[in-house]
Amino acid sequence: VTTRMATEIGQQPATLAATLDALLPRLAELRSLAAGRPHILLVARGTSDNAGVYGRYLLEIHAGRGASLAAPSLATHYTVRRSLSDSLVVCLSQSGETEEIVETQGWAAGLGARTVAITNVARSSLAAGADVALVLEAGLEEAVPATKSYTAQLAAVAVLAAALGPDDSTLITELKRTPAEVSRLLDRRLGVDAAVERLLGGESTLVSGRGLVYGTALEVALKLEESCLRPVRGLSYADLRHGPIAVVESGVAAILLAAADGPMVPGMTELAADLSGLGASVIAVGGNRAFRDAASVVVEGPDLPEIVAPLGLIVPPQLIVEQLARELGLDADAPRGLTKTTQTDRG
Amino acid sequence: VTTRMATEIGQQPATLAATLDALLPRLAELRSLAAGRPHILLVARGTSDNAGVYGRYLLEIHAGRGASLAAPSLATHYTVRRSLSDSLVVCLSQSGETEEIVETQGWAAGLGARTVAITNVARSSLAAGADVALVLEAGLEEAVPATKSYTAQLAAVAVLAAALGPDDSTLITELKRTPAEVSRLLDRRLGVDAAVERLLGGESTLVSGRGLVYGTALEVALKLEESCLRPVRGLSYADLRHGPIAVVESGVAAILLAAADGPMVPGMTELAADLSGLGASVIAVGGNRAFRDAASVVVEGPDLPEIVAPLGLIVPPQLIVEQLARELGLDADAPRGLTKTTQTDRG
């Protein structure tokens, strides 16, 4: 049996390449739109919000802008009035029809923001209302758990960071390597079976990552939860240290994510060792040799620098989630209680 | 047996009143420091971060500033360089010695920010390094789970919002009512026993709140987790709708928090009804009549408007957590694996 989710996971080398081809020619347009706007506000929910977390770190680190995630209720429920003339507002929605995101975009434009829409649907309300629409080339996504639209969103925010960052082509060069790396990971699946077997034990699960990879941890937790119907927590490294580590004991499965390089690997390695010491089963995705050595199950990650690692690092967990859902006898394509476009307020 | 945590919970009417008395005379100083700075960056971890979440909403809603929560790793690990000359940076730490918070404050000052420290220790590194130190009058806090220092932090951020907000005294008038309301809640404990009994069942637990009360939900989840050693998730209303609601079924206990008024009560009431319909036991804290009617256990909240409700709304859950820890035979004052001042990177 092939699920639509599996098919869509497998399309990612092509959808990533097509999205980069479509968006990389638009660097000058984005640079011009953002001129004189040192602040960037990202507006999203659910999986798109997890893509926004990557965007937040990347725009700060690579482009030196102040970037933060909006609380849409400030627009939709509290109708805050403040000038956004120093801000670029970036709204992410696969469908382009999530009402509170569309409403927040209109609110921002009315307060002086310039707006960028990142959506998979060219003829959507979000695209129509934006100053610049970055339309993803992910194609129709039928499975409720988003996979290829998520990696395409990551590519779009990376293109935005490239436009606003220093005038060198390093980020762009690395971005262009991501489709081939994703393809390699899909072929190899190293560690996927072992991770599924460990998670099938039904232990309580937590997921952690830090910095540029924090959004990936949140996305893995969300996917496991919605597709495999088990409570999973996605935690930043620091949040875990500040309380939840108290509940880690034998029987907990901890999925830890790290890029192969960058300033977060030593701390994530120390966390892997500490969690192992508390009796947790550590499933390491990515990282370097020391990180892998501190884990009990190792899942191969991408050979990409930290700055673009999230585009590949999510792929092995997508494979794990899809396989785990099937082995649990669940419908990965249409999880209980969820629909493709969530309206936060349905009343 | 009286725990230190119970003693410190009981001191809150006095510590809140003393903190307000100490800080309210400093409105002009704060207003002057923040002049020409439309952006506010809050820097904190753990319980202090949950106070920061309230500050973020309040500073946007009441003071019309752009407010966001910092990711300290951008300072400590990625050493981002960008101008903060349009920003006021507010660092919160009970001890004033959490290294990454102190380091982030120094980073911000070096990039042109003005800084405010909110700390319980006058002779701390954080207070010494700030342009303005708002020192809490919570007194020595000995229990590891913060209670009275948390409500004092909420009071401090509310004073800051009053300083930066419109020139009327509404917020200040309401703030001055909070000590008496906390005292009333401590005396009445309405619903506390029933909530403890429901939670003793050992079901999986989630906590949710929205907008100004979202930080309270995060704080209740953190307290339950660190003191009662059970995995608990604190989720925003929207995050819950976008995935985790898939795992709600019979046996889940959902603690929902709401102010007595404001734009979030209808949505929280709808959520209570939906979660009940999925088989969850809903424990409603605060809210209005309709909200309480949708719950199976009702815990009385404060008679305070939404804008200051978090200062009282946390108190009944503090009582619940302390009593639950005792009934579980746990040491509420010194939870396993935690220390009073957490250093995120200990290496």
What is this structure's pTM?
0.96
Average pLDDT (B256-284) is: 95
Which residues on B lie below 8 Å from A229 (Cβ)? 246-247
Report the gap between the CA of B251 and the closest CA in chain A (Å). Answer: 13
Q: How far is CA B33 from CA A125, B86, B105, in A?
A: 42, 12, 15
Rg (C-alpha) for chain A, rounded Å, is 19
Cβ distance of A337 and B248 shorter than 8 Å: yes
Identify the closest residue of chain A to B58 by CA–CA distance: A74
Report the gap between the CA of B87 and the closest CA in chain A (Å). Answer: 10
Secondary structure (3-state) at A298: strand
Average pLDDT (A222-236) is: 84
Average pLDDT (A174-183) is: 98
| pLDDT for residue A17 is more than 80 | yes
Rg (C-alpha) for chain B, rounded Å, is 19
**What is the C-alpha to C-alpha distance for residues B254 and A20, in angstroms, rounded to an integer?**
43
Angle CA(B220)–CA(B269)–CA(B289) in degrees, nearest 5? 95
**What was the pLDDT predicted at B234?**
81
Tell me what percent of the residues of chain A surpass a pLDDT of 90. 84
Extract the tokens encoding A320. Answer: 């794990």
Question: Sorting pLDDT into bands at 50, 70 and 90, what band is A347?
Answer: very low
Question: Sorting pLDDT into bands at 50, 70 and 90, what band is B231?
Answer: confident
The answer to which of A20-29, B175-184, B222-231, B299-308 has the lowest mean pLDDT is: B222-231
A344 in B contact zone (CB under 8 Å): yes
Q: How far is CA B178 from CA A327, B15, B19, B22, B174, in A?
A: 53, 11, 12, 15, 7
Which residues on B lie below 8 Å from A74 (Cβ)? 57, 60-61
Choosing among B60, B73, B228, which should be mutated to test the A contact, i.e. which has the most A CBs within 10 A? B73
Average pLDDT (A173-197) is: 98
Between A232 and A130, where is the model more confident? A130
**What is the C-alpha to C-alpha distance for residues A161 and A164, in angstroms, rounded to an integer?**
5
* pLDDT tens-place string over residues B189-215: 999 999 999 999 877 899 999 999 999
Nearest to A311 by CA among A155, A134, A184, A188: A155
Nearest to A295 by CA among A264, A329, A270, A322: A270
Extract the tokens encoding A61. Answer: 């680190």
B39 in A contact zone (CB under 8 Å): yes
Q: Which residues contact B313 (CB under 8 A, 6 or more apart)?
A: B213, B216, B257, B259, B285, B286, B301, B302
Question: B281-312 burial by CB neighbour count: b if 16+ within 10 A, else e?
Answer: bbbbbbbbeebbebbebbbbbbebbbbbbbbb
Cβ(B198)–Cβ(B320) below 8 Å: no
A36 in B contact zone (CB under 8 Å): no
Looking at chain B from residue 100 to 159, which residues have their Cβ under 8 Å from any Cβ of chain A?
100
Average pLDDT (B284-313) is: 98
Average pLDDT, chain A: 93
**What is the C-alpha to C-alpha distance for residues B317 and B313, in angstroms, rounded to an integer?**
8
Of A64, A210, A246, the CB nearest to B335: A246
Which residues on A lie below 8 Å from B231 (Cβ)? 204, 206, 231, 233, 244, 247
Looking at chain B from residue 181 to 220, which residues have their Cβ under 8 Å from any Cβ of chain A?
204, 206, 210-211
A72 in B contact zone (CB under 8 Å): yes
| pLDDT for residue B304 is more than 90 | yes
B279 in A contact zone (CB under 8 Å): no
Identify the closest residue of chain B to A218 by CA–CA distance: B239
* pLDDT tens-place string over residues A88-115: 999 999 999 999 999 999 999 999 999 9
Extract the tokens encoding A41. Answer: 């506000």
Of B41, B71, B222, the CB nearest to A243: B222
Cβ(B250)–Cβ(B279) below 8 Å: yes
Cβ distance of A244 and B225 shorter than 8 Å: yes
- Given the DSSP bridges, would you call strands B87-93 and B66-69 parallel, antiparallel or unpaired? unpaired
Q: What value of ipTM does the predicted structure carry? A: 0.94
- Secondary structure of A80-123 in HEC code, one letter for each residue: CCCCCCCEEEEEEECCCCCHHHHHHHHHHHHCCCEEEEEECCCC
**What was the pLDDT predicted at B346?**
38
Spatial strand order in the sheet of B114-119: B66-69, B39-43, B87-93, B114-119, B132-135
